[in-house]
Structure 1
Amino acid sequence: MNGKSFFVTNAVAEARSEDLFTYTRAGSFKVDQEGYLQNVGGSYMQGWPLTFFDGTTSAKQVPVGLDTFMKAYTRENGDKVIINDNIIDNTNLQPINLQTIGGTASPTTNLNVGANLPANTLVAGSERINSLIFDSLGNPHNITLSFIKTNANVWRTSIEQPAQSAVGVQRTQQNEVHFAQGRLDVDDVSTGTITGTISMNANGQAINIFLDPNAADDATYTAPGDVNMTVNTTGRTMSQLLDLISTSLNGALTDANMFGAAPTPPGTWARRVSGENGITFDQASSANAMTFSASITDAAGKQLVYQNAAAGYTVPVLDANFGWYNLATNSLRQSSITFSGDGTPLTFFGRDASTAPSPQHKVELIWANGAENMVIGNQKSPEISVFLGNYNTADGLTQLAGDYQLNYLQQNGAKFGNFSGVSIGQDGIVSALFDNGVTRPVFMIPLASFTNPNGLQALSGNQFIATDFSGSPTLREAGNAGAGMINAAALEASTVDLGTEFTRMITTQRAYSSAAKIITTADDMLAELLSIKR
């Protein structure tokens, strides 16, 4: 540590109100048998714990990279303590204990895409980009961005939500709902009896699909009005059954004339996910939300769907600008992306740089596997910010001649990782390191400054306490308001060079010996003169 500041320590790791806080420049800290940081004098490091910022206005925020943390911690009883970083007591200062740092997983919050969409693609041609993302539990998932050409220089984008997610929502720069989708994932059952019900309600129409191994017909339903269908499951694998459900549901919705015309793109209301035993339900209405639930069991009574069938899920309505069809003109609504003549993005979701300065849009995911929902406002697991490039710049998506080409695909987030160590920055932030490559700030080391450091009272073990002559300590973050910087993995060097000091000592000793010899010689000469005089 450089400068004239001091570390704050205490003789007791878990300080009580009566325990004395001391100050030291002895920065050789080691981990004791209980996981606390302890210096050579036996005192324990004290500081400010850091947690993710949750919007508490009274909390002191600490920005670290793209994330924001706050000085706070949670007691064993669940109470949250907001730290006052001007006070030195056992509430606002805590010890750092490395044994309390467990494993971690980091959810994906950013997705950056750069690709060329061929300019010679015919209308209705499409391209797909698959990306790996992580939920808050560290589970990996695949999400798909689809791009469909709807006119010259015009493309429409949508998402295909991952397995084990119930609802996926694509929002514009202004948080409008551009695309919304629901999904049911079902276990693979190749043989055996399958019974149950899939229920939907869209635009006021209730649709119930009954799965019956004894049904005479493949699919029967009545429309319009409430639609009830019976699907024969005899001899069908789960993938075959899901294909049949999708086909039947699409027919029922079209016959019910719920939205005036069968929507395109993507061309169907319900569709089985290619290569997976799941069905997606695409929202097309800007007036009515769509709810769905399912209760499917096999012969042994095993529940086959991931989603909670009792509660169900709701797919939100689309913004009025982004409904698939304008019923008055029977035409598509606002496009997703338009390109200018030089192949760079001109608008995203109908807005340019003058109306929406940030080109990034958002993807929200509601999970059915117990992970934190990726939604706006959730500090633990916020929505995914998707960057497709800047306006009028070829740094993301482009539409140029040639083939489709993915130039880059970047996303953050990480799978579960175990704690592997710590690092300390010059700003005093202690970051936990995990074997999945994630680093997470967990602690901040404060530095104490005094008006008159020479007035401190010394204790054993290179410890000091404040006195009336030193003045009261002021806590500061490293590098701020005159406080020094912290140098990790380095001890304060001595200002004395032993070689130089020994040389000076020998030189002085020999000079003294020479001077003493001169005096002795002078005394002998004086004695001889006195003897001659006599």
Structure 2
Amino acid sequence: MSINSAMLAGVSGLRANSAALASISQNIANVNTVGYKRSQADFSTVVNTQSVYTGYSAGGVTSVARHNISQTGQLQSTTSSTDLGIAGQGFFVVTQKAEGLTPTDARLFTRAGSFKVDEFGYLKNTAGLYLQGWPVDDNGVITTDPSDLNRLSTINVGSVGGTAEATSRAQLNANLKSSQTISPEARDAALAVPGPNAYSPATNSMAMYDPDNGVGVKPDFEVTIPISDSKGGQRTVAISFLKSTTPNQWYAEMRAVPADSVQTGAGLTNGQIKTGLVAFTQDGRLDTAAMAALGANALFADPANAILTFGASDSTPAAGAVSWAGGLGIDDQTIAFDLTNAAGGLTQYDSASVVQAVQTNGTNFGSLTEVQIDENGFVTAIFDNGVTRQIAQVAIATFPSPDSLSQVNGNAYRVSQQSGTYNLKTAGTGGAGVLGSSQLEASTVDLSSEFTGLITTQRAYSASSKIITTADEMLAELISIKR
């Protein structure tokens, strides 16, 4: 009977508008949920098959929930460097546990990037989901894979301890006064038969100089260079210069300060590291040709390749070599000295002997102070000694049909048959979008639209109830025909 179909159509209207109310309620409740995507109820008609001459039968209405997952919200600034937002269509890959992941453990996807460092150093968002990424291997290389979730691991910043970087390069910018008065010890050394006080790197050296005891030779000029060892300890290398009687030549000694910080092989004493001559051209620059001609007598036969090598503490130095002192327990070290820099280097001009600049790399021990994530997803640890170290790269997943993902608790999603399979990408490539550090994606809920929808849904529900009331009255009239 048509009246019965009208009543059933009214019931379907009540059911459909109840679903719409539930969807609106969910949206309003999550107006401040980070990365939340609004949902809505889409209505469609239901048409019954009609038979000729039997009257019209109302089918009613049905509702289907539609999740606008691909709709992006505005990125809003925060004060936490581990808060992340995606400006694009990608999703963070997350898991429900941090360690012991197996291929059967669920991998979820979310836009909720409110990550914080938990008590074990893992990046976890407010829903308790852990951020996944490609880790840095032992060689400092990140290997990405677009299709294998098992290559990902939970990003952990707590495993990054303090760090130190040994000095491997030193640049010297200094001048030696060309008119420096030649010392008596240097004059004695130039005699055919050296005088009793003659300078000698083996028996009467600058490294032996002690004014209190009246031994050794006072340098005409000295430069000290701070260096860091393999443990971040601070060491000092001094270069002493004594002008020779040969024009444009200086005696030079490199030594450790204090002397007991190194152990030396035969031919070196009092902490000496290297000894020899330094030659200059007539226009005051280092004379590489002259030093090459000096060969083993030069401080460095090739000033452009001035390499200083320290053996490890547990090694015994050979003749003419040097190692760190055994009690220090530090690793071997090679330092390249830049003495021929075009903007300075080691020069000999007729002005005061002076150090213009000494620049070295390497740092002392530093503790982790901050974690930063750039727009390409690289997670970098920053230490208070200025050293930075990459930890991992955040993985971004994209889908052919993101609106078809299945929703799960925690404002996250799961792959469905309709969504298509995932593609793992690095941020900024293939439509994945770039990452915004210290930013969070706001909910896509618009309260004005939701409250308007609330009014229309309420009225539609009321109207559907009127259909049932009217049909009921009509049936009552029909029943009352025979009394």
Which TM class, normalised by the smaller chain length? 0.5 to 0.7
- Write the deviation string for residues 252-275 of structure 1: whole angstroms up to 9, x where unpaired: xxxxxxxxxxxxxxxxx44334xx
The aligned residue for residue 425 of structure 2 is 476
Aligned partner of residue 99 in structure 1, secondary structure: coil
1:134 aligned partner: 228
Matches within 5 A, 1:281-320: none
Distance 1:127 1:19, change over 3 A: same
* Structure 1 residues 362 and 450, CA gap change in structure 2 (3 angstroms): farther
Q: By how many angstroms is 1:127 displaced?
A: 3.2
Q: 1:386 aligns with which of 294, 318, 337?
A: 337
User: Residues 336 and 350 of structure 1 are in contact (CA less than 8 Å); yes or no, is this contact kept in structure 2?
Assistant: no
Q: Alpha-carbon deviations, 1:422-442, whole Å to 9, x = none?
A: 222223222223344433222
What does the per-residue CA deviation read over 1:282-334, in whole Å, with 9 as the maximum and x for residues that have no partner?
68xxxxxxxxxxxxxxxxxxxxxxxxxxxxxxxxxxxxxxxx7xxxxxxxxxx
Give the Cα–Cα distance (whole angstroms) in 1 for the partners of residues 168 and 273 of structure 2: 25
1:70 matched residue in structure 2: 141
Say whether the 8 Å CA contact 1:454–1:470 is kept in structure 2: yes
- Deviations 1:207-245 (Å, cap 9, x if unpaired)? xxxxxxxxxxxxxxxxxxxxxxxxxxxxxxxxxxxxxxx
Larger Rg: 2
Shift of residue 156, structure 1, vs aligned partner = 6.5
Structure 1 residues 116-143: Cα deviation after superposition (integer angstroms, max 9, x where no partner): 2223236767532112211121221111
Is the CA contact (8 Å cut-off) linking 1:166 and 1:366 kept in structure 2? Answer: no
SS at match of 1:108: coil
1:27 deviation in Å?
A: 0.9
CA contact (8 A) 1:337 1:350 kept: no
- Call closer, same or farther: CA 1:153–1:454 in 2, change over 3 Å: farther
Question: Size of the alignment, in residue pairs?
Answer: 310
- 2-structure distance, mates of 1:70, 1:409: 32
**1:272 correspondence with 2:270:** yes
Q: Tell me if the contact between 1:166 and 1:367 (Cα under 8 Å) persists in the aligned partners.
A: no
Q: Distance in 2 between matches of 1:119 and 1:370?
A: 42
The aligned counterpart of 2:88 is: 3
Supply the AA of the counterpart residue of 2:166. Answer: P
CA–CA distance in structure 2, aligned partners of residues 52 and 164 of structure 1: 35
- Give the counterpart letter for 1:32 in structure 2: D
Structure 2 residue identity aligned to 1:416: F
In structure 1, distance between residues paired with 2:177 and 2:268: 29
Is residue 2:380 matched to residue 1:431? yes
Relative to structure 1, the CA distance from residue 443 to residue 457 in structure 2 (aligned partners, 3 Å threshold; closer, same or farther) is: same
**CA separation of 1:156 and 1:26: change in aligned 2, threshold 3 A:** farther
Q: Tell me if structure 2 keeps the 8 A contact 1:422–1:431.
A: yes
Superimposed CA distance per residue, residues 10-35 of structure 1 (whole angstroms, 9 cap, x where no aligned partner): 11111222102222221110122333
Of residues 486, 498, 521, the one that matches 2:435 is 486
Amino acid across the alignment from 1:8: V
Partner of 2:346: 397
Q: Which residue of 2 aligns with 1:328?
A: none
Matches within 5 A, 1:7-26: 7-14=92-99, 15-26=101-112
Which residue is equivalent to 2:306?
A: 361
Q: Which runs of 5+ in 2 are unaligned?
A: 1-85, 187-218, 294-300, 314-327, 457-483
The corresponding residue for 2:123 is 37
- The correspondence for 1:143, drawn from 231, 237, 251, is 237
Q: Is contact 1:154–1:339 with CA below 8 Å preserved after alignment?
A: no
Pick closer, same or farther for the CA change 1:129–1:476 going to 2, 3 Å.
Answer: farther
Match of 1:117 in 2: 176
- Rounded Cα–Cα distance in structure 2 between residues aligned with 1:158 and 1:89: 58
Q: Secondary structure at the match of 2:349?
A: coil
User: Is residue 2:371 matched to residue 1:373?
Assistant: no
- Alpha-carbon spacing, 1:365–1:469, altered in 2? closer, same or farther (3 Å): farther
Query: Relative to total residues, which structure has the larger helix share, 1 or 2?
Result: 2
Compute the displacement of 1:394 (Å).
3.0
**Deviation (angstroms), 1:40:** 2.3
Summarize the alignment of residues 128-527 of structure 1 with structure 2, pairs less than 5 Å apart.
Answer: 128-147=222-241, 151-154=246-249, 159-161=254-256, 163=259, 166=262, 182=264, 269-273=267-271, 280=272, 338-339=280-281, 341=283, 343-345=284-286, 347=288, 350=292, 359=304, 361-368=306-313, 369-374=328-333, 383-390=334-341, 393-480=342-429, 482-493=431-442, 501=448
Shift of 1:477: 3.0
**SS in structure 2 opposite 1:400?**
coil
Q: Distance in 1 between matches of 2:443 and 2:353?
A: 63
Q: Is structure 2 residue 161 aligned with structure 1 residue 102?
A: yes
Contact 1:157 1:337 in 2 (8 A): no
Question: Aligned pair in 2 of structure 1 residues 282, 398: CA closer, same or farther (>3 Å)?
Answer: closer
8 A Cα contact 1:360 1:388, kept in partner: no
- Residue ranges of structure 1 left out of the alignment (5+ in a row): 54-68, 72-82, 168-181, 184-199, 201-268, 274-279, 284-323, 325-334, 375-382, 510-534
1:354-408, CA deviations, whole angstroms, 9 ceiling, x for partnerless residues?
xx9994633221232221211xxxxxxxx32322343xx3333333221011111
CA distance in structure 2 between the partners assigned to 1:358 and 1:25 by the alignment: 57
Aligned-CA RMSD value: 3.9
Q: Is the 8 A contact 2:256 2:273 kept in 1?
A: no
Where 2:309 maps in the other structure, the secondary structure is: strand
C-alpha separation in 1, matches of 2:146 and 2:164: 33
Q: Do 1:156 and 1:337's aligned partners in 2 also have CA atoms closer than 8 Å?
A: no
Letter paired with 1:10: T
Q: Take 2:432 and 2:242, find their aligned partners in 1: how far apart are those partners?
A: 57
CA distance, structure 2, for counterparts of residue 360 and residue 281 of structure 1? 17
**Greater strand share, 1 or 2?**
1
* TM-score (norm: length of structure 1): 0.50
Change (3 A) 1:128 1:32: same
Task: Look up the equivalent residue of 1:485 and give its one-letter code.
Answer: V
- Contact 2:303/2:340 (CA < 8 Å) preserved in 1? no
- Secondary structure at 2:351's aligned position in 1? coil
1:178-214 CA distance string (max 9 Å, x none): xxxx26xxxxxxxxxxxxxxxx6xxxxxxxxxxxxxx
Identity %: 33
Deviations 1:79-129 (A, max 9, x none): xxxx56445344x22212333232222222232222222232367675321
Q: 1:44 offset after TM fit, Å?
A: 0.4
User: If the length of structure 2 is used for normalisation, what is the TM-score?
Assistant: 0.54
| 1:20 partner amino acid | A
- 8 A contact 2:255–2:274 mirrored in 1: no
What is the CA distance between 1:494 and its match in structure 2? 5.3
